[in-house]
Every structure is written in structure tokens, then in C-alpha cells.
């Protein structure tokens, strides 16, 4: 297996257990030690050996950890740009990052759309519920949201114990010593080792074998049975009751296979803090970077909406301003050519190189003469607004484009020029001051980018969203536990199976003031399942649940003005892309749902 590096700054390879040893690294800011494993030949590099437990170990600073036989990169940190382009920000100024009030506020309030690992609806809700604003708590929160911890009920317990010190009770008194910082809740893989060794009495080797077995890394069922048997034998030898032993085992069994090791979680937390700092202080540059990276948890449409929410103006592509990637500056984000569907990278390079070489383009004719782009590529640019800088309407530009490529008079290649210098009568007649309607402009933007720039889709439903009985997401905190109506546009969705085997769904929606989660419990989802396959806009009615992160527990759901929505968001049928974030890959229960719908209902579901 080829050696690789992931975000946790951990080396993964095909090394055997005999080649590895337990290792403690020092965090850059707090100098706290974090345990992990490294190859034993790293010990010969001058690291300080510690052998208090009888297990080979080492202590070293991550910045000087040299990569083994890796060409071109001397150290792990050399692979990371130290200074973020265009901001001058040094991402390794940890004291500055972790103590910055704007960054802490952004994380605490869950305004983390675009931030690595902490942007999903569930994570943003967890940040708000725990009022997380420091590195240590973010490390814990990054692990507690993992499936095993959440499904065991320990995530809810962790939150409650964090908020109320009176709830911080320990199954056994001695557990406080080893799990005190997580309030007696096991949330890291190391916690399995701590409990199994210090509380139960397994040896360190047996405790780590148990951790590996719970993580699915042990193929021998017989060996697993022996460790489990040994676990309960040790519990009995310690004098623990069967009830206590079973509770200890249940916690380990339920989450260990999905939990992070602490080093992994801490590394995620470092990076999350770094990007949150960028969003807090350089929002335009940050969101341009996220968009250039083709988004994260959400589709590009959501990040364009996030620009609006932050007061950042998204600017259409321009043949005189755009680069291939998105570019942020002050309070604007200029859309790059990469966002335009079916626009070739080579065409983008031709435009930017010609612009650098000879200056900006002064007209459509000048642009075509200097770039020699095809009719189709030029048409795409005109329709999406990239030639609005020529101060002509888009219909006029499209007419002139047709003339330049098809008019006999202008195909006369005099003196090596494609066009004659005089403006012809045909050009004059084709000029018009009539512009496309707002709906047509939005439809063309949607076709080109997969999202709208000129208006948010909900702005085209003013009559519906401005009714007095519909509340905004920004006002949800004033309606806790009250029944309300809300309107939202699709962002993302997630379907899960409950402990009873029933299917429910979470719809991430946005309005013009913010975002919210529409929760459809199984009975409600069964009624409205086909409507939730639409892109919206959704009218949802239900009870507001602010305590769990700004949710509305849906009782009724409808999709508004289907024909109007289709006229705006209808894409050509050769495309598989739809507005917003694609739903997660289909699974068995979704296949069953789709197979149960007849043709008419399928059309209704997918086209609203």
C-alpha cells in the first residue's frame, strides 16, 4: 500500500505491528501530548524515548517529523502553504487563531458553512448546542458527532453533561480520573484503551487488541471471543456487578468502530479553526476558495447564497475580469470560467492570456477576432452574462454573433481580417435595447452555472414568501415549541433509518434570511416522501424546535407553484445535474420507494 498523508497528519502504510510503536506528539500551541503510532525507524531520528509503561514510545514535535523516502517534501508542514494567498495570513499562528474572538463567535453560533468538517447541518447544530468556541471542546465535538457515539446515546449525554455540571456522574468513581475531560463519556478510541486497561484490568496489549477488534481490524472471530471473555472475567475479578459490566461493554461495543482517535479529531479541529478564521476575516476570499474547490458538503448554489447572507455580491463571469477560478476581493466574489457548464478550460486560457498580452476586449467583434473562439463557446458566454461588459443587450449580442459567423458580407476575409472594419447596415438593424426578462436571465444563469446569481429562486415567489403567516428562519428563536409556516429552497437532504427500522428524512432548506432543518419523522415522511424528491420551494408547517439547533418538526408539506418553478429550473434532459446539492447515493429503501411509484407519480416527484 502506497504511503499517503491525510488531514490528521498521520502516515498510513502497510507497516506491520512489529514495525510500529506507540508515540506521543506535542501539539503546536498548548504543548499537550497526543498519542498515536509511527514507524519505529522514526525513533532513530533523535526523538526522545519514554518507556514508563513498558511499551516503546517516542515524543516529538510534528513540524520536524520528516517523511520517510518521500521525494520533494522534507516535512509534513512543507506540503501545506504557510501563507494563504492574497490574505497574508499565516495559518500556523495558532495563538492568533485560537484566541480570535470573531472566529470563536462564528464557530459558537454555527455560522460555519464552507468550513472544513464543521459545516454540515448536524455539526452546526452541535456547535450551537454546546456553545463551542475553543480548541479543546471542538476536538471533543468533532469526535462526539461520529455515528457510533451518536447512536449509543452518548452524544446527547455529552451535551447535557457539558451544559449542566450536576449531570456529570460516573459509572465508577475511578472513571473520573481517566474520562474527566469528557465528563465520563467515551468519545475517542483511546478511551476504549483507558477503560479496558485502567478500569477493567486488561493489559495494554489486550486493550489495544480490543480497540482494533471493535474497529473491524481483527479478522479472527475466535480471538475476538477470547478478548470479550477476558473483559468480563476481569470485570468480575474487579468486583463489578453484571449491570456495571454490561454498561461498560455496551458503551465500548456501540461506538468504538466509528470513533476517532484523539489525534485525528484534534487535527480536524485545528484545520476547522484555521478555515473558520479565514471565513471570519476574509469571507470573500474564503468563499471564492470554497467555490473554486467545487464546494464541500453542499453544492455551489449554497455557497453563492452564503455570499448573499454575508453581504458579499456575487458577480457574473466577465471576459474582461474573470479568471478560470472564482476570485474574492473586498465584498465581491467574481465567478470564474470554471463555473460555466460546457465551457472548455482551453477557451478560458485563451481569453486570460490574450487579455494579459493585449489588454481588455472592447467589443464582441474584437473578442472574436483575438480569440477565434467557436460560435458555441461565444454563445455560452453571452447567455450567462460574461459579455455584459460590452454595454450591449444580450439579445443584440446574440444577433451580432450570428451575423459575424453567418453573414456573407462579414465573412469576406479582407487583408487577413475575418471582419470588415465598417459597421454594416445589418449590424445596425440587429441592435436592440430590449433585454431578456428577469426570468429568462435567471433561467440562462441556472442553465450555465446550476444556480442563479441575479436573484435567489425564492425572490421569484414574492407573493408566497411575504404573506403574514409565514415566518423567516432568522426569527425561529422567537417561536420555540410553537406551530408555524415556513418557506424554503432545497440545500441538501439526508435519509436515515430509525432504531425501529423506519425511514425518516432531514431536509436542509434556506430562505432569504438564513437556513433551517425540516425534520420529517417516519409517519410524516411516509405521507410526503414523493414531494421531498423535488427541489422546492417548500411550504412546511410544523412545530419549531430551537433547542436542538433550529429545526421545524414537519406536520404538513407542500411544493409551491410547480409550473413556475419548472419554467425557471428546467434543465435539458441530457443533464443529470439539478439545482442544489444532489441527494446522497440511493440505497435499498429509496429503491423500494421509487419502485412503488407509477410513472405519473415519478414525474410529479422529480419535477415538483
* Range scoring the smallest mean pLDDT among 285-299, 519-533, 545-559, 576-590: 576-590
Q: Give the residue among 302, 291, 575, 583 at the shortest CA–CA distance from 456.
A: 302
Domains of the chain, residue spans: 4-80, 282-439, 469-607
Phi-psi label, residue 165: left if phi above 0, alpha if psi -120 to 50, beta otherwise = alpha
Q: How far apart are CA 14 and CA 582, in angstroms?
A: 35
- For position 440, what pLDDT does the model report? 94
Tell me the three cell numbers of residue 94. Answer: 495558532
* Range scoring the smallest mean pLDDT among 9-18, 95-104, 205-214, 216-225: 9-18
Kindly report the backbone phi and psi dihedral angles of residue 550, in degrees, each rounded to the nearest multiple of 5, phi listed first.
80, 55
Summarize the confidence of residues 388-415 as an average pLDDT. Answer: 78
State the fold for domain 282-439: DNA polymerase; domain 1 (1.10.150)
Question: What 3-state DSSP class applies to 559?
Answer: strand
- For position 536, what pLDDT does the model report? 86
pLDDT confidence band for 407 (50 / 70 / 90): low
- For position 389, what pLDDT does the model report? 96
- 335 within 8 A of 324, measured Cβ to Cβ: no
For residue 27, CA distances in Å to 59, 97, 269, 336 come to 11, 14, 12, 38
Find the largest Cα–Cα distance for the chain: 101
**Residue 67 scores a pLDDT above 50:** no
* Range scoring the smallest mean pLDDT among 30-39, 132-141, 274-283: 30-39
Q: Is 330 buried (19+), middle (13-18) or exposed (0-12) by CB count in 10 A? A: exposed
- Tell me which of 209 and 412 has the higher pLDDT: 209
Alpha helices in 505-598 (DSSP H): 522-528, 562-569, 588-595
* Range scoring the smallest mean pLDDT among 37-41, 127-131, 515-519, 564-568: 37-41
**Residue 521 scores a pLDDT above 60:** yes
- For position 602, what pLDDT does the model report? 40
Which residues contact residue 394 at a Cβ distance below 8 angstroms, ignoring those fewer than 6 apart?
A: 382, 383, 385, 387, 388, 435, 436, 441, 444
- For position 556, what pLDDT does the model report? 95
Residue linked to cell 446550476: 450
Class of domain 469-607: mainly beta
Tell me the three cell numbers of residue 238. Answer: 474487579
Tell me the three cell numbers of residue 168. Answer: 456529570
**Beta pairing class for 83-84 and 58-61:** unpaired
pLDDT in tens, 424-465: 677 777 788 899 999 999 999 999 999 999 999 999 888 888
Which residues contact residue 311 at a Cβ distance below 8 angstroms, ignoring those fewer than 6 apart?
A: 331
Dihedral (CA of 113, 118, 124, 128) sign: negative
Summarize the confidence of residues 188-194 as an average pLDDT. Answer: 88
**Residue 576 scores a pLDDT above 60:** no
Q: How far apart are CA 569 and CA 390, in angstroms?
A: 27
Q: Starting at the edge strand that comes first in sequence, how are the strands of the sheet with 48-49 ordered?
A: 33-39, 20-26, 58-61, 48-49
Same fold: 282-439 with 469-607: no
* Range scoring the smallest mean pLDDT among 77-86, 220-229, 548-557: 77-86
**Residue 336 scores a pLDDT above 50:** yes
* Range scoring the smallest mean pLDDT among 242-251, 253-262, 279-288, 468-477: 253-262
Alpha helices in 419-461 (DSSP H): 425-430, 438-449
- For position 28, what pLDDT does the model report? 46
- For position 49, what pLDDT does the model report? 39
Amino acid at each position: 500500500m502506497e504511503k499517503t498523508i491525510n488531514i490528521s497528519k498521520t502516515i498510513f502504510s502497510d507497516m506491520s505491528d512489529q514495525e510500529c510503536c506507540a508515540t506521543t506528539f506535542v501539539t503546536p500551541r498548548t504543548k499537550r501530548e497526543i498519542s498515536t503510532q509511527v514507524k519505529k525507524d522514526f525513533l532513530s531520528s533523535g526523538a526522545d524515548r519514554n518507556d514508563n509503561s513498558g511499551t516503546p514510545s517516542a515524543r516529538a514535535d510534528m513540524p520536524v517529523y520528516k517523511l520517510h523516502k518521500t521525494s520533494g517534501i522534507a516535512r509534513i508542514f512543507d506540503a501545506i502553504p504557510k501563507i494563504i494567498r492574497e490574505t497574508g495570513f499565516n495559518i500556523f499562528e495558532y495563538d492568533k487563531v485560537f484566541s480570535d474572538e470573531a472566529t470563536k463567535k462564528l464557530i459558537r453560533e454555527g455560522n460555519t458553512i464552507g468550513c472544513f468538517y464543521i459545516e454540515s447541518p448536524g455539526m452546526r447544530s452541535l456547535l450551537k448546542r454546546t456553545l463551542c468556541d475553543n480548541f479543546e471542546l471542538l476536538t471533543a465535538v468533532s469526535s462526539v458527532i461520529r455515528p457510533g457515539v451518536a447512536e449509543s446515546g452518548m452524544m446527547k449525554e455529552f451535551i447535557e453533561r457539558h451544559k449542566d455540571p450536576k449531570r456529570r456522574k460516573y459509572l465508577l468513581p475511578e472513571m473520573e480520573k481517566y474520562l474527566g475531560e469528557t465528563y465520563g463519556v467515551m468519545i475517542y478510541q483511546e478511551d476504549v484503551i483507558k477503560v479496558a486497561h485502567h478500569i477493567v484490568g486488561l493489559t495494554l496489549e489486550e486493550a489495544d487488541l480490543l480497540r482494533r477488534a471493535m474497529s473491524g481490524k481483527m479478522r479472527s472471530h475466535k480471538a475476538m471471543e477470547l478478548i470479550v471473555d477476558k473483559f468480563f472475567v476481569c470485570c468480575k475479578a474487579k468486583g463489578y456487578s453484571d449491570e456495571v459490566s454490561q454498561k461498560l461493554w455496551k458503551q465500548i461495543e456501540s461506538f468504538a468502530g466509528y470513533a476517532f482517535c484523539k489525534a485525528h479529531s484534534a487535527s480536524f479541529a485545528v484545520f476547522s479553526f484555521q478555515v473558520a478564521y479565514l471565513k471570519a476575516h476574509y469571507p470573500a476570499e474564503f468563499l471564492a476558495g470554497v467555490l473554486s474547490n467545487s464546494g464541500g458538503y453542499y453544492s455551489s448554489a449554497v455557497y453563492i447564497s452564503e455570499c448573499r447572507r454575508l453581504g458579499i455580491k456575487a458577480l457574473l463571469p466577465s471576459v474582461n475580469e474573470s479568471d478560470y477560478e472564482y476570485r474574492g476581493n473586498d465584498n465581491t466574489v467574481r465567478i470564474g470560467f470554471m463555473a460555466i457548464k460546457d465551457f472548455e478550460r482551453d477557451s478560458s486560457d485563451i481569453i486570460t492570456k490574450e487579455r494579459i498580452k493585449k489588454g481588455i476586449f472592447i467589443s464582441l467583434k474584437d473578442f472574436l477576432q483575438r480569440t477565434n473562439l467557436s460560435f458555441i463557446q461565444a454563445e455560452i458566454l453571452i447567455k450567462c452574462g460574461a459579455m455584459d461588459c460590452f454595454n450591449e443587450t444580450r439579445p443584440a449580442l446574440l444577433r451580432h454573433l450570428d451575423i459575424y459567423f453567418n453573414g456573407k458580407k462579414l465573412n469576406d476575409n479582407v487583408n487577413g481580417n475575418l471582419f470588415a472594419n465598417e459597421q454594416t447596415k445589418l449590424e445596425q438593424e440587429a441592435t436592440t435595447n430590449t433585454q431578456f426578462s428577469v426570468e429568462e436571465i435567471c433561467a440562462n444563469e441556472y442553465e450555465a452555472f446550476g444556480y442563479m446569481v441575479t436573484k435567489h429562486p425564492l425572490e421569484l415567489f414574492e407573493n408566497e414568501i411575504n404573506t403574514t403567516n409565514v415566518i423567516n428562519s432568522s426569527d425561529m428563536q422567537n417561536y420555540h415549541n410553537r406551530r408555524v409556516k415556513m418557506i424554503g429552497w432545497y440545500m441538501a437532504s439526508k435519509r436515515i433509518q430509525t432504531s425501529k427500522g423506519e425511514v425518516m428524512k432531514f431536509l436542509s432548506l434556506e430562505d432569504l434570511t438564513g437556513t433551517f432543518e425540516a425534520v420529517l419523522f417516519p409517519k410524516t415522511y411516509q405521507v410526503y416522501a414523493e414531494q421531498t424528491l423535488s427541489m422546492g420551494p417548500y411550504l412546511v408547517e410544523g412545530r419549531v424546535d430551537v433547542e436542538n439547533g433550529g429545526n421545524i418538526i414537519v406536520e404538513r408539506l407542500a411544493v409551491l407553484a410547480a409550473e413556475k418553478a419548472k419554467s425557471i429550473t428546467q434543465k435539458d434532459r441530457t443533464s443529470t445535474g439539478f439545482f442544489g446539492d444532489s441527494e446522497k447515493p440511493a440505497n435499498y429503501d429509496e429503491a423500494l420507494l421509487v419502485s412503488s411509484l407509477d410513472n405519473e407519480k415519478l414525474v410529479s416527484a422529480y419535477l415538483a
